[in-house]
Structure 1
Amino acid sequence: MQNLYPEIKPYARHELAVEEPHVLYVDESGIPDGLPVVFIHGGPGAGCDSLSRRFFNPNQYRIVTFDQRGSGRSTPYASLENNTTWHLVEDLERIREHLGIDKWVLFGGSWGSTLALAYAQKHPERVLGLILRGIFLCRQQDFDWFYQEGASRMFPDFWQDYIAPIPQEERGNLMQAFYKRLTGSDEIAQMHAAKAWSCWEGRTATLRPNPQVVERFHERALAIARIECHYFINHAFLESDQLLRDMHKIAHLPGTIVHGRYDVICPLDNAWALHQSWPNSELQIIRDAGHAASEAGIADALVRAADDLVQRLLDLPPEEA
């Protein structure tokens, strides 16, 4: 099994002011003249970490990672102001222009796959190819499955902890009930709701229980819960089935789709539907994995996809890629 590449430190860091009040944290690693790739994190609200750089050969890629509005080291933390899908699409363009990159590879998982598709469909001329994991099409059925009823029947024990902050009379619309608390003035109720929301996601993200994954969600609870709920209650600021509808705009681009067969957060039908709408894509169904990029089979497939793409785009001999 292909291991992740070793941990590396960025060779450059940037603070990029975009629409007020937001300042984005951006860093670069690998080699400056390598194939540009941008890592688009999930959530929205999760932020990047040292793992984000480890899917790419640092001797071949110029690796760009950044924290989206309100996430990670970007400021202000957990802010919902001027924070929509289309703000993030234009943030990607600002980053690309700021770094002097003509075209780049998009690498995104979960919500990162959503944002990568939205960006590619808006700016196809700036994309060399896509590597996507844990596809999330942001259809109403996808929101309902995980946040109202569906996954609840597979994890009734975890579900009870998720709905605990919400009174019985408000459980007919859980997302609305969480949104009220996550955006309210009661800070104790806000954090209680944030932890319940984020831990539900963390506990269901892997096929086998992984306390480290749960802890990462717990540490970022406020940003993940507030920003995710803000996006999802607004249908991710997308029209119905927009991402599938507009796949013809990027049908010519090469893409690899990696998806765990037992992904409970974003069921496999998301990836299947995308693949059917994208003739130039390759779908890899990982038989022993759920949703998380850190699961061995998914990490292995992502590293291999990045290795294969750099070889194709730079036309390198296999031993040099």
Structure 2
Amino acid sequence: MPRMNSSSGFDPRFRYRLHVVACLVAFASLGSLLPCAPAFAQVPGENLQDYYPPIEPFQTGYLKVSDIHEIYYELCGNPRGIPVMVLHGGPGGGCGPNMRRFHDPKRYFIILHDQRGAGKSKPHAELRDNNTQALVDDIERLRIALRLPKVQLFGGSWGSTLALAYAEKYPRHVSSLVLRGIFTATREEIDHFYHGGVAQYYPEVFDQLKSIVPKPEEKNYPAQFLELLQSKDKSTRDKIARAWAAYETKLAALVTSDAEVQEILDAEDVYAFSLIENHYMANNCFLKEGQLLADAPKLSGIPTVICHGRYDVICPPIAAWRVMKAIPGARLVLVEAAGHSGSAPPMRSALIEGIKSIQPLIADTADQRIEIRAASQPATTQPSGDQRDE
């Protein structure tokens, strides 16, 4: 009989232990499919790696990337270390302090930036000239400005989308990939999130979202949300932004408290997050259908670790499985006791272990810059938007 606890009535660790042996047996059979290492299950609460201690940037600034946009960036850790670009989710999520803490600051040069319209980037919540191709080229502009021959890309959810898109366009400038919560921006994945796939697991949460859609019978929820978020009525904009943020927050972790949801709703950038995300989803993320999977074989030879929560209902694990199979040599870690959130202890532990496992393969990318220069200075060469590695 399941053991009970005082808070929720059911101890989730009991459920995970019941099936973890079966999962481990299943994952062991995958070894022949994964050239680097087999996928594995993590037992919750055992030997988990925690964040590195909090750090502050040694430099911050803005890089002008278009006539409209300036992106905010932070430089942290060891400026002579292994360069890593940290890519936030959303789209529109912005970077937070804990995103600096997955890499050893003594060994890594940690670079974060807020994508167009997000976080501290200017102008705030701006949709003009805001698309996937532009964000990819912004990463390249920042790399050029910092004179980094190669960078590791570290991103989850939408950050994984952007990492794949950049790596497929500029593979020669990527030392490695550490990805979490894979989202390849297919119609299937978008429909799952907006049109009932989530309802199979969180019917009450999905019904709350559906209740504010003007025409729920029409299967164009992203476009409807985007229209509402651009309403002339501020109260309507605020209501929809908060409803959308609450929806996604409730789905991100296995258990989400009311206090955690409220913390997200009280954040200053809740409107920008909701607006930009629906702008991208209404436009199929400005990617051709199946583009990221089709081009994934280009990443052969780039060390790749993918960590994905077994119970991720926002981005189901099948997307990670497909990407792992499409990238020769990629390693997939299916994390038990984890959903979509990158901050859940089992997931952050898996990511930190993944980073450590790749480190010996990319150690020679440290200390290769000609000089350290402020990224706010214009780069000598700017990507044209159609420039790509051959």
**TM-score interval for Structure 1 and Structure 2 normalised by the shorter chain:** over 0.9
Counterpart selection for 1:38 from 85, 104, 119: 85
Gaps of 5+ in 2: 1-47, 365-390
What amino acid sits opposite 1:138 in the alignment?
A: A
Matched, 1:26 2:73: yes
Q: Is the 8 A contact 1:255 1:281 kept in 2?
A: yes
How far off is 1:75 after superposition?
Answer: 1.1
Deviates more, 1:217-226 or 1:52-61: 217-226
1:214 counterpart residue number:
261
Bigger Rg, which one? 2
What amino acid sits opposite 2:224 in the alignment?
A: A
What amino acid sits opposite 2:302 in the alignment?
A: L
Counterparts in 2 of 1:279-318, with a 5 A limit? 279-314=328-363
Q: What's the secondary structure of 1:74's corresponding residue? A: coil
| Number of equivalenced pairs | 316
Q: Is the 8 A contact 1:60 1:310 kept in 2?
A: no
1:126 counterpart residue number:
173
Q: Is the 8 A contact 2:69 2:116 kept in 1?
A: yes
Counterparts in 2 of 1:145-184, with a 5 A limit? 145-168=192-215, 172-184=219-231
2:325 counterpart residue number:
276
Tell me the distance in 1 between the aligned counterparts of 2:216 and 2:94: 34
Could you report, residue by residue, the CA deviation over 1:138-194 in whole angstroms, capped at 9, with x for unpaired residues? 110111111111102311211232223223566543222111111232221111111
What amino acid sits opposite 2:352 in the alignment?
A: V
What amino acid sits opposite 2:357 in the alignment?
A: D
Tell me the distance in 1 between the aligned counterparts of 2:83 and 2:68: 28
What amino acid sits opposite 1:313 in the alignment?
A: I
Matched, 1:65 2:112: yes
CA 1:125–1:151: 2 relative to 1, 3 Å? same
Identity of aligned residues (%): 39
Could you report, residue by residue, the CA deviation over 1:238-289 in whole angstroms, capped at 9, with x for unpaired residues? 1110000001211221100000000000000110110111121100000111
Deviates more, 1:264-273 or 1:159-168: 159-168
1:195 counterpart residue number:
242
What amino acid sits opposite 1:250 in the alignment?
A: L
1:99 counterpart residue number:
146
Q: What's the secondary structure of 1:246's corresponding residue? A: helix
What amino acid sits opposite 1:282 in the alignment?
A: R
Tell me the distance in 1 between the aligned counterparts of 2:224 and 2:83: 42
What amino acid sits opposite 1:275 in the alignment?
A: M
What amino acid sits opposite 1:247 in the alignment?
A: A
Tell me the distance in 2 between the aligned counterparts of 1:212 and 1:7: 23
Q: What's the secondary structure of 2:220's corresponding residue? A: helix
Counterpart selection for 2:134 from 75, 79, 87: 87
Deviates more, 1:234-243 or 1:163-172: 163-172
Deviates more, 1:172-181 or 1:276-285: 172-181
Could you report, residue by residue, the CA deviation over 1:41-96 in whole angstroms, capped at 9, with x for unpaired residues? 00000000110100000000000001000111111111101000000011001111
Matched, 1:10 2:96: no
More relative contact order in 1 or in 2 (CA 8 Å, sep 6+)? 2
Tell me the distance in 2 between the aligned counterparts of 1:158 and 1:123: 39
Q: Is the 8 A contact 2:181 2:315 kept in 1?
A: yes
In the superposition, the TM-score normalised over structure 2's length comes to 0.78
Q: What's the secondary structure of 1:33's corresponding residue? A: coil
Deviates more, 1:227-236 or 1:155-164: 155-164
Matched, 1:108 2:149: no
Gaps of 5+ in 1: 316-321
Deviates more, 1:225-234 or 1:168-177: 168-177
Tell me the distance in 2 between the aligned counterparts of 1:169 and 1:308: 46
